[in-house]
Amino acid sequence: MRVLVTGGAGYIGSHAVRALTRAGHQPLVLDNLVYGHADIVRDVLGVPLVNGQVGNPDVLQPLLKGTHPDLVGSVFEAKTIEAVLHFAAYAYVGESVADPAKYYRNNLGDTLTLLEALVGGDHPIPIVFSSTCATYGPPQSIPMTEGHPQAPINPYGRSKWMVEHLLRDFCKAYGLPSVIFRYFNAAGADPDGDLGEDHDPETHLIPRVLDVMSGRESYLQIFGDDYPTPDGTCIRDYIHVSDLADAHVLGLERLLRLRERNELPNEPLIYNLGNGTGYSVQQVIEAAKSVTGRGLLAHVAKRREGDPAQLVASAERARVELGWRPRYPELHTIIDHAWRWHQRRHLS
């Protein structure tokens, strides 16, 4: 199946491209390359890449129809796109507070343009959307199920939450088939070592720990050690990025099966993606020491605004309905794969 992957040059999107290819689908990447990496798409994934903005109908429409000049000679030429995985988004919480317009324009406005295009033809084109546990806001109960109340506390989380509403409305009104995945903490890297996380700036815990262990950074800040958790540091549910990617293929395939059988519900399918196990910042540091055999200098800093003490998913629904079984649930494995990638990307 021909699948447009927006944000396919980014961290999670690039792993999804690989999962699609391995499942026998044909991915086409649309990415504005603000944070994405063209070299990964061209040299590692080997799939067509179009540099453009999701919110630009002059790029989007011809891509969906196969008439874009960059598609000449490819399997996409003169063929319509059959499904979309929509990853393209900005994802820095702090920046979203400082510059919400950038987040609403890109994450919400551009997605509206995309959805209008998807329902503009004879048949709506199914979409799988990357949402986040940040749409829940502060947890009221742990583990968090899909029914947990949603009260996001920053513009990034709100931009994703608003898109969830768009999808609900488009599903009801236009029959747009959609899946919403709410990720917990994406981490790790493809076990082959040639895909992984490469953000600039890097804000995520595991790559920052590895940056310090490899000498790229001099010390780690632990954002608060006075949380109501056993060791006082925040607990998160780290999920391997290749497991996230696999879930997208399963979600898409379920959507298409339901459509074939005329059993599509008139609302999006919604799934949390996490392991259901939480690890503290301190536990992540200890696991990373054991993986790399290296130590690190860490200072306790003040709490980061908006960080809840604990976020842990219940992904029971994805297990039951999609048959999703994370292949790499162990924190040690997740960090080991991240370390392989880190060494290859940054130290060789």
Q: Confirm if 190 and 341 have CB atoms less than 8 A apart.
A: yes
- Say how far residue 312 (Cα) sits from the centre of its chain: 17
Q: Which of 222, 259, 316, 345 binds ligand UDP (CB under 6 A)?
A: 222
Q: Return the ∠ at Cα 39 (arms to 38 and 45), rounded to 5°.
A: 95
Range in contact with ligand UDP (rule: CB under 6 A) among 6-14, 23-31, 32-40, 197-205: 197-205
Nearest distance, CB of residue 330 and ligand UDP, angstroms? 18
CA 121 – CA 270 distance, rounded (Å): 25
Catalytic hit among 35, 156, 183, 227: 156
Q: Per-residue x/- marks for ligand UDP, 105-134, CB under 6 A? A: ------------------------------
- Strands 178-183 and 269-273, bridge-based pairing: parallel
Stretch binding ligand UDP (CB under 6 A), from 52-60, 66-74, 153-161, 201-209: 201-209
Q: Is there a contact between 114 and 34 (Cβ–Cβ < 8 Å)? A: no
Residue 156: active-site member: yes
Position closest to ligand UDP via CB: 234
Told to check if 205 binds ligand UDP by CB under 6 A, we report yes
CB of 308 to ligand UDP, least distance (A): 8
CB of 106 to ligand UDP, least distance (A): 18
259 closest CA partner among 133, 123, 168: 123
Three-point CA angle 113, 181, 62, nearest 5°: 30
Does residue 39 contact residue 53 with C-beta atoms inside 8 Å?
Answer: no
As measured in angstroms, the least distance from the Cβ of 58 to ligand UDP is 34
Would you call 131 helix, strand, or coil by DSSP?
strand
Q: Is 240 in the site for ligand UDP (CB under 6 A)?
A: no
Q: Does 12 bind ligand UDP (CB under 6 A)?
A: no
> Is there a contact between 126 and 84 (Cβ–Cβ < 8 Å)?
yes
Quick check: 281 binds ligand UDP (CB under 6 A)? yes
Nearer to ligand UDP, 163 or 205 (CB): 205
